Amino acid sequence: MNKLTRRDFTSKITKGTGAAMVAASLPMGIYAACTPDKKLGIALVGLGSYSTYQLAPALQDTKNCYLAGIVTGTPSKAISWAKKYSLAEHCIYNYENFDTIKDNKDIDIVYVVLPNAMHADFCIRAAKAGKHVICEKPMAMNVAECEQIISACKKANVKLGMGYRLHSEPYTQQVQEFVKKKTYGDVTFVSAEAAYRSTGNPDQWRLNRELSGGGALVNMGVYAIQSAIYGTGENPISVAAQEFSTRPEYFKDTDETITAQLNFPSGAIANITTSHNFSANSMYVAGTNGWFKLQPANNYGPLSGSTSDGKILDFPHESQQKLQMDDFASHILHGSTNLAPGEMGKRDMIIVSAIYESIAKGGKTIRLDIPKDYGFA
């Protein structure tokens, strides 16, 4: 989707929104100080369901960061959020005045939670404003946009992280530890599934390729790709893929179901499945000395896992979004590892692009030229 179209889309959803309108609608005295000590302020850009039901509630419990601001094109949301979270007037923005966020010392991090076609634009603008950036997955519409985001953040000397919540939760970290220590031998095979059945509004942005960049693959398939990678501890060297459609009247513009086979330098192989037409949520890893699995593996939790030697993986459940945002804030505050750097988002988009290329070429195997450690934390 080109920049002009993105701006046209932004203009349509921001028409009539302004801080003055919001302020005039709020009772006097609602504004609270938004600078708690030793915490970084996060502004959520886009107040859809993920921000509403996951990110904002999680930010009430985080220890390294807090909800400092919002950016929305809907005046009623600006008003209701300001009231609910006691947000200061100067921390409320729309998409048109977003660039003035550079002058707000209360906001340290901008979390972009917009339709995929708007990720690059707002990540780059946030970086130019001197703010650290979290980009929700998928990183962008294509690899070129991923590179532009990474370049902008490096040029502005700000940190960039992906909204890959699973890297901060204990089940996924245990899987990575099994692989690293070869607890069950050398990995030979991974199966990963990430899918749900979509029955909502057929005009939603996720089913519009101009706004989403793709269907099930860019939405849920990223989780399956990630599972294959941390399930082997390697980046793939080739991929072949197939696409299936059983509801073409609903999925008119985006992919419904995709399967793919990935090959890795060690000789391990992975089968991944993703869909917007049925539910699936698991990963299984076979090694030369046993196996381990997660089911569920990629929802908001609690997750569950088991192993071939009878172990039941059972960790206390915490909000994955809370853990993710705290980890990124810790990276900024204390120099801890960035568990999901921007390069990880670019790597996954390289694989996504290769999968679409394979499908377009009738399932042909596509070679991948990804450096061995590229995208790993």
Angstrom distances, CA of residue 51 to CA of 90, 92, 212, 232: 20, 15, 18, 32
Angstrom distance (rounded) from CA 82 to CA 86:
5
Kindly provide the b/e burial profile for residues 309-324, where b requires at least 16 CB atoms within 10 angstroms of the residue's own CB: eeeebeeeebbbbbbb
Angstrom distances, CA of residue 264 to CA of 188, 224, 267, 375, 377: 10, 15, 5, 15, 19
- Helix (H), strand (E) at residue 326: helix 320-334
Angstrom distance (rounded) from CA 206 to CA 199:
12
Phi, psi of 170 (to 5 degrees): -70, -30
Out of 137, 159, 293, 322, pick the active-site residue. 137
Helices 170-181 and 222-232 meet at what angle, rounded to 10? 40
Phi, psi of 330 (to 5 degrees): -65, -35
Q: How far apart are the first and last CA of the chain?
A: 30
95 is catalytic: no
53 is catalytic: no
Sheet of 269-275: strand order equals 312-313, 305-307, 290-294, 277-287, 187-197, 269-275, 257-263, 238-244, 366-367
Out of 66, 223, 230, 284, pick the active-site residue. 223
- The sign of the CA dihedral 301, 307, 293, 177 is positive
Residue pointed to by tokens 């399967």? 259
Angstrom distance (rounded) from CA 237 to CA 372:
9
* Residue 274: half-sphere exposure toward Cβ, Cα within 13 Å: 26
Closest by Cα among 217, 211, 203 to 245: 217
Catalytic residues: 137, 223
